[in-house]
Amino acid sequence: MGFLFKLPFSLCLILLLLLLFNGTFGILEDNNNKAALLAFKNGIFSDPKNHLQNWRLDSNLHFCNWTGIECNNVTHKVVSIDLSRNSIHGTISPFLSNLSSLTILDLSDNFFEGQIPKELGSLRNLEQLDLKLNLLTGKIPMELQNLNKLEYLHFGSNKLEGKIPELLFCNGSSSSLIYIDLSNNSLSGKIPLKNGCEMKGLEKFLLWANKFEGQIPSALLNSTTLQWLDLGSNKLSGEFPVMKMPSLVYLYLFENEFVSHDGNSNLEPFFSSFLNSSKLQQIDLASNHLGGEIPSIIGDLHANLSELHLSNNLIHGSIPPSISKLINLTVLNLSGNLLNGTIPFEVGRLRKLESIQLSNNLLSGEIPYSLGEIQPLSYIDFSRNKLSGSVPETLANLSQLRQLWLYGNHLSGTIPPSLGKCNNLDSLDLSSNQISGVIPSEIAVRTMKIYLNLSRNHLHGPLPLELSKMDMILAIDLSSNNLSGPIPSRLGNCIALEYLNLSYNSFDGSLPFSIGQFPSLQTLDVSFNQLIGNIPDSLQTSSSLKQLNISFNNFSGRVPDKGVFSWLTMYSFLGNNGLCGSIIGLPKCRERHKFYKFLPILLCSSVAFVFCIAGIVFALRLKTRLNISILNRRGFEECEEQITERKEMKYPRISYRQLVDATDGFSSSNLIGSGRFGEVYKGILPDKTKIAVKVLKPIRIGGEISGSFKRECQVLKRTRHRNLIRIITTCSRPDFNALVLPLMSNGSLESYLYPNNRGSSIHKPDLAQLVSICSDVAQGVAYLHHHSPIRVVHCDIKPSNILLDDDMAALVTDFGISRLIIQGETNNSTSHRSESTSFSSTHGLLCGSVGYIAPEYGLGERASTEGDVFSFGVLLLEVVTGKRPTDLDFQQGAGLHEWVKSHYPHKLDDIVDEAMERYGFSRPNVAKQFPKLRREVIFELLELSIMCTQYTPSFRPSMVDVAHEMTRLKEHLLNSSSLLIREASPANDEGC
């Protein structure tokens, strides 16, 4: 202190004032920092981990020591806030802008909601702003453009929307940003990056899963530092740019609308631009509109390339053998293109390959045995091609093989027993081929965890007992083969099994009791076999079983009424004449009389009684035919009693007066539909049964209505299928004809597709539900064409003629203009299509409704099963596109089917994109495999529709084939998330 006395008094006074001011200013600065932090805490709703419990005004700790806070050691100002991954719920306080020295703000991986405060734009010293993985909404504030020192910007996985501020990435001639991630939001517009801006230090630029449009900014294309560019799942378009990025490691441009050069015919310029990119490891261009062939120079890319994804494009031609030069390739995905030719033998040189996916192409020839030399190979998917030959024995050398999918080809030969050496095999799918022989016992790999699918082949012989060793398997499908013998009781050892399908084989004997003891079994289908005996009681005690089908066997005895049986319908038991029980539609079981010794006498008496009854019935029928005209003249008031195909069941008697009362005098308020031949009214009978009454209009010239009524009665009376409407009764008077049908609570498919037409709330239809509905329709029509006691052509398949029951199952209705196949159809049971089928005709009546009528009908051809296939194809197109075939656009020119064909194959993605938007999968917030699966299903629906609507009838598939394909798509879609169809790729497992 002595030195102060040596200074002039005035100078001492100035020094004292300065010391006092600095102390006061420091206190004020501390108070501002503390107040800003407490204001932030006031916006917190929940702090599960109690990280903010020491953020208190009365705390003994200095705020620099509060959790998540870091201060400058000299000025004691807050420079960092890191509260990431603490499950905090709340809003971000604008008072954080008072922390003028803040350089790091990390609130990531919490539950912050509301908007990003625009006041954060005043934090001029901010270098790192991380708000990813929250629930933030609204737009990105324009004020954030002022953060000139920002190096790290991460808003990924929020709910942000709108356009990015124009100068956010670069508000001058250069930018300090090194890391930019705005992925997985709903941001739109163009990517705002002006041409003159230099991104000198930019290393990562991630905007995937948004709605960005336009082209990639040229300022990115010449970046010398950029390592990671991910613009996948947007709406970017134009030609693929020529990129000069020597530091690029990861390039993800999947799920956009890019095309190749020279009118979408040349991929070489794009790949040529990466010949000097020595660091490039992964390229993902999947799900664009890329055309052209894979250029041979692809083999000249740097050997560091480890993943190449070109799936779901329009690439054609053959796979160049030069691709084998990419010796470090671990993933090769070329599925969903138009590739043809053979699989190059040279792929066997890719000795580091772990996954190869070539599905959904036009590849032919044999599977190269050289694949067996790639030891790391884990995933092989060659499904849905035209591959022939046998399954290579060399695949048994792949000790790491987990997935082998070869379904939907033309493979023949037998199943190599050596595949049992693949101890890591999770799923094996060889379905829909021409494989023969027996199922080798060695194939029952104990460690198989997902599924075994050998369905739709020519396998024969018994089930190997070794299948019971597969105690980790989730699903087994051996349907549609020629397997025989008993079902082994040891199969119950498959304790993890959830799905078992043994249908359409020749299994005999009884159903083992142990089959009901699977602890996890959800679906069991043993239909269309030769099984006998009683239904095991163990099935009704199963707590997991949800679906059961034992139809078309020789089961007998009582059907249980507990467990799964409490909600099953008779359609699970069709074709088993010996069954009885309490399920509606099955005959009631008769109690056994205790005086069984009188059974022979009773049998003799019964036979005599039957003969007597038969004589009486014959006499009554003869009398009825003689007096029917008299009854009509008297105005018969009661509904005519009709006999069903099962002679023990009769339609109930409902009088005309009861129908009048049930429909309130056929009031217009109860009118639920009308058509060419009549109206449909809803009503309620005295016993509370809800009915639909189809009233035929008065007889017109030529007897059209009379013929329509008789025809529909005949069809409904003699056909029984779970996907065909059943008749309750008919009512006929000289001036009145009506069909009484059950009322479908969910209306028609038309009301489901177009809910706003009936005043319902607008909603996005459910894709899985619609595929299931179309599958039901296909099954019903296939039954009419090929399995019904009287073969029927429906002639009017359209959404309004498809009704939906309480469980949204589809029932085909309205047989008023159907045609019955006359004698002369081929009886060759091995053929799905009749060789020479003819039908009755109604003069002057064009079969069907406008937009759904097959073109040959307009040329005078008679109704045919092929015509129904055409109508079903149009129905599928309507379901996928959401466009009616009678829309004005199609009335003025080609039909809906021609419009879709004009987009195939190069422009089909436009239709698929609209469908994805309609079904709510355009902007997924889940793993990209989820919408990808839906996209594949939509593609296949469109392709199936195009096949069904071929101009030449003989080129169309049969309805049996269509039904099988729809069933496969239905199972593929509904079970994909749990067990049957899974996306299994190392690339998809990344980060798990």
Chain segment 733-788, per-residue pLDDT in tens: 777 788 888 888 788 888 888 875 443 434 556 788 899 999 999 999 988 888 77
Query: What is the token pair recorded at 821?
Result: 């196949």
The CA-to-CA distance between both ends of the chain, in Å, stands at: 67
| Averaged pLDDT, 267-296 | 92
Under the phi-then-psi rule, with left for phi > 0, alpha for psi from -120 to 50, and beta for the rest, what region is 247?
alpha
Distance from C-alpha of 274 to C-alpha of 593, rounded to nearest angstrom:
88
Q: Quote the pLDDT of residue 377.
A: 95
- CA atoms within 13 A of residue 475's CA, in its CB half-sphere: 24
Inter-residue contact 659 to 731 (CB < 8 Å): yes
Q: Quote the pLDDT of residue 22.
A: 46
Min mean pLDDT across 147-161, 187-201, 204-218, 261-275 is at 187-201
Higher pLDDT, 466 or 817: 466
Is the pLDDT at 816 greater than 80? The verdict is no
Examine the residue annotation and report whether 30 is marked as an active-site residue of this protein.
Answer: no
Confidence label for 914 from pLDDT (cuts 50, 70 and 90): confident
3-state DSSP assignment of residue 776: helix
Catalytic member of 776, 796, 868, 909: 796
Inter-residue contact 158 to 137 (CB < 8 Å): yes
Distance from C-alpha of 699 to C-alpha of 918, rounded to nearest angstrom:
44
Residues composing the chain: 992
Distance from C-alpha of 887 to C-alpha of 346, rounded to nearest angstrom:
52
Determine whether the annotation assigns residue 469 to a binding site. no
Which residue do the tokens 């099994």 mark?
497
State the average pLDDT for the chain.
80
Residue 104: phi and psi, rounded to 5, are -130, 125
Q: Where are the domains of the chain?
A: 23-158, 176-333, 746-822+837-977
Min mean pLDDT across 225-239, 583-597, 704-718 is at 704-718
Inter-residue contact 120 to 144 (CB < 8 Å): yes
Distance from C-alpha of 220 to C-alpha of 406, rounded to nearest angstrom:
41
Is the pLDDT at 153 greater than 70? The verdict is yes
- Percent above pLDDT 70 for the chain: 79
Distance from C-alpha of 234 to C-alpha of 924, rounded to nearest angstrom:
11
Q: Quote the pLDDT of residue 618.
A: 52
Pairing of strands 379-381, 403-405: parallel
Q: Quote the pLDDT of residue 459.
A: 95
pLDDT, tens only, 356-414:
999 999 999 999 999 999 999 999 999 999 999 999 999 999 989 989 999 999 999 99
Inter-residue contact 778 to 711 (CB < 8 Å): no
Is the pLDDT at 171 greater than 80? The verdict is yes
Inter-residue contact 760 to 915 (CB < 8 Å): no
pLDDT, tens only, 688-745:
888 888 887 664 433 444 555 555 565 666 667 888 888 788 887 777 788 888 888 7
Residues 6+ apart with CB under 8 A from 492: 468, 512, 514, 515, 517, 518
pLDDT, tens only, 37-76:
999 999 999 988 888 988 987 767 888 999 999 999 888 8
HEC-encoded secondary structure of 325-369: HCCCCCEEECCCCEECCCCCHHHHHCCCCCEEECCCCCCEEECCH
Distance from C-alpha of 399 to C-alpha of 551, rounded to nearest angstrom:
41
Distance from C-alpha of 15 to C-alpha of 20, rounded to nearest angstrom:
9
Q: Quote the pLDDT of residue 189.
A: 95
Is the pLDDT at 649 greater than 50? The verdict is no
pLDDT, tens only, 827-856:
333 233 333 333 333 333 456 788 888 888
Residue 34: phi and psi, rounded to 5, are -65, -40
Query: What is the token pair recorded at 97?
Result: 């802008």
> 840 to each of 164, 711, 793, 822, how far by Cα in Å?
66, 11, 10, 7
Confidence label for 634 from pLDDT (cuts 50, 70 and 90): very low
| Averaged pLDDT, 421-448 | 87
Fold of 23-158: 3.80.10
Burial of residue 595 (CB within 10 Å: 0-12, 13-18, 19+) is exposed
| Averaged pLDDT, 124-134 | 95
Inter-residue contact 825 to 837 (CB < 8 Å): yes
3-state DSSP assignment of residue 671: strand
Distance from C-alpha of 522 to C-alpha of 548, rounded to nearest angstrom:
8
Is the pLDDT at 144 greater than 90? The verdict is yes
Confidence label for 507 from pLDDT (cuts 50, 70 and 90): very high
Domains 176-333 and 746-822+837-977 share a fold: no
Distance from C-alpha of 974 to C-alpha of 768, rounded to nearest angstrom:
6
Residue closest to 285 by CA, chosen among 211, 337, 324: 337
Inter-residue contact 691 to 681 (CB < 8 Å): no
> 651 to each of 428, 635, 648, 728, how far by Cα in Å?
50, 21, 10, 6
Q: Which superfamily is assigned to 176-333 in CATH?
A: Ribonuclease Inhibitor (3.80.10.10)
Considering the domain delimited by 746-822+837-977, tell me its CATH architecture: Orthogonal Bundle (1.10)
Min mean pLDDT across 251-265, 334-348, 357-371, 655-669 is at 655-669
Q: Quote the pLDDT of residue 508.
A: 93
Residue 346: phi and psi, rounded to 5, are -65, -15
Inter-residue contact 774 to 876 (CB < 8 Å): yes
Confidence label for 556 from pLDDT (cuts 50, 70 and 90): very high
Confidence label for 591 from pLDDT (cuts 50, 70 and 90): low
